[in-house]
Amino acid sequence: MELRQLRYFVAVAEREHISEAAENLHVAQSAVSRQIANLEEELGIELFERVGRNVKLTPIGKTFLEYTIAALQAIDFAKKQVDEYLNPEKGTIKIGFPSSLASFLLPTVISAFKKEHPNVSFHLRQGSYRYLINAIKQRELNLAFLGPVPAKDDAINTKILFTENIAALVPASHQLATKEEIQLADLRNEGFVLFPDGYILNKVVVEACKSVGFTPKISSEGEDMDALKGLVAAGIGVTLLPESAFYDSTPRRTKKLALVEPPFTRNVGVIYPVNRELAPSEKIFLNFVSQFFTRLSQFK
């Protein structure tokens, strides 16, 4: 069994079409067909069945695909470890991040890191809170930024980098806009614009409101920070956002208000796997990030 056969097999399985797989692999269709036939002969099973001009995995083919993908990922990771052991300053760091950290944390950290390690490359993957946790557990990623940081478990390590306040954002015409700070309970009768149910920042806001005795009335939803800011600016409702969402600026026609009695915060950090070692360049980056935010906190 050869690596080439396994990679051809995965390419055909993903496209369910031999000629399309061959085109993607930049080889002749006959070469792909021959290697698939050799693989099936060696295994003693049929991996595909023909459906018109396409092919479809057999039940045992689906099982074999699952293990093949895992094996190829392990081999690719092992080669990456060897390459980076030889020269960690030329590695590639794959990082996951949610949209809420895209405008401040990610560019700030990566630009600072690149000044000290200019030859290290980055592969960035945006995803939901739940996706990023699962990606770490399933070997798709080794590092991911998250806020708030999930509880440590048997599969993931966690490192809190900083804690930030949650602030209220209201339309500039709102009666509370003349104030600089409010209590969260002051918003109990307002319509809220929030991330959809299932997003972590939806959960953070709903739990914060419930902790002071009310459930927020959701008037509209948006799937990113800019959408929520725009809805507030249009007078559709109020929202709660982390301080880092305002580092560039507070949107026009809105007013940011500090929350007091009680204040609300979220922690932000990085997660990484328990059951496998980070690549050398990833270790360098993780150490850099930890020291970077430690230094920042000293100036606050």
pLDDT in tens, 29-44: 999 999 999 999 999 9
Higher pLDDT, 87 or 125: 125
Single out the residue in 63, 84, 105 at which a domain terminates.
84
pLDDT, tens only, 224-257: 888 999 999 999 999 999 998 888 777 889 999 9
Q: What angle, 0 to 180 degrees and rounded to 10, lies between the N-to-C axes of helices 3-15 and 29-43?
A: 110
Same domain, 68 and 214: no
- DSSP reduced 3-state for 15: helix
Same domain, 197 and 221: yes
Neighbouring residues of 6: CB distance < 8 A, sequence distance ≥ 6: 39, 68, 71, 72
Q: What residue has token string 């390690």?
A: 117
Q: Which amino acid would we find at residue 162?
A: F
Same domain, 57 and 13: yes
How far does CA 294 lie from the centroid of its chain?
23
**Are the beta carbons of 264 and 166 closer than 8 angstroms?**
yes
Report the residue count for the chain: 300
Same domain, 272 and 150: yes
Same domain, 132 and 114: yes
Single out the residue in 69, 84, 99 at which a domain terminates.
84
Q: Looking at the whole model, is its pTM more than 0.85?
A: no
